[in-house]
Amino acid sequence: MSRGVCLVTGASSGLGAETARQLAARGWDLGLCARRQDRLEALRDDIVARTGRRVEVRALDVTDDAAVFDVVRDLRATLGGLDRVVVNAGLGKGAPLGTGRYDANRETAMVNFVGALAQVEAAMEVFRDQRRGHLVVVSSVTAVRGMRKAMTTYAATKAGVAVLAEGIRHEMLGEPDLDIRVTTVFPGYIRSEMNEHLSRAPFMVDTEVGVRAMVRAMEDEKEQAFVPAWPWVPLGTALRHLPLGAVRRMT
In this structure, what CATH number is given to the domain that contains residue 189?
A: 3.40.50.720
Q: Give 191's pLDDT tier (boundaries 50, 70, 90).
A: confident
Mean pLDDT of the chain: 93
Return the CA Rg of the chain: 17
Q: Give 194's pLDDT tier (boundaries 50, 70, 90).
A: low
What are the two backbone dihedrals, phi and then psi, of residue 208, each rounded to the nearest 5 degrees? Answer: -60, -45
Least confident piece of the model among 55-64, 65-74, 143-152, 213-222: 143-152
Which candidate in 113, 127, 154, 186 is catalytic?
154
Q: Residue 71 is part of which domain span?
A: 4-250
Mark whether 154 is an active-site residue: yes
pLDDT over 90 (residue 237): no
Mean pLDDT within 160-184: 97
Contact 86, 138 (CB under 8 A): yes
CA angle 229/219/153 to nearest 5° reads 55
Q: How many percent of the chain have pLDDT more than 70?
A: 94
Mean pLDDT within 116-125: 98
- What is the pLDDT at residue 198? 52
Mean pLDDT within 53-57: 98
pTM recorded for the entire structure? 0.94
User: How far is the C-alpha of 181 from the C-alpha of 217, rounded, in Å?
Assistant: 13
pLDDT over 80 (residue 240): yes
pLDDT over 90 (residue 101): yes
CA angle 4/138/5 to nearest 5° reads 10
**Amino acid identity at 92:** G
Q: Give 238's pLDDT tier (boundaries 50, 70, 90).
A: confident
Contact 232, 226 (CB under 8 A): yes
Count of domains in the chain?
Answer: 1
Least confident piece of the model among 29-38, 114-123, 209-218, 233-242: 233-242
User: How far is the C-alpha of 207 from the C-alpha of 17, rounded, in Å?
Assistant: 10
pLDDT over 60 (residue 197): no
pLDDT over 60 (residue 69): yes
Question: Cα separations (Å) of 138 from 80, 190, 226?
Answer: 25, 13, 10
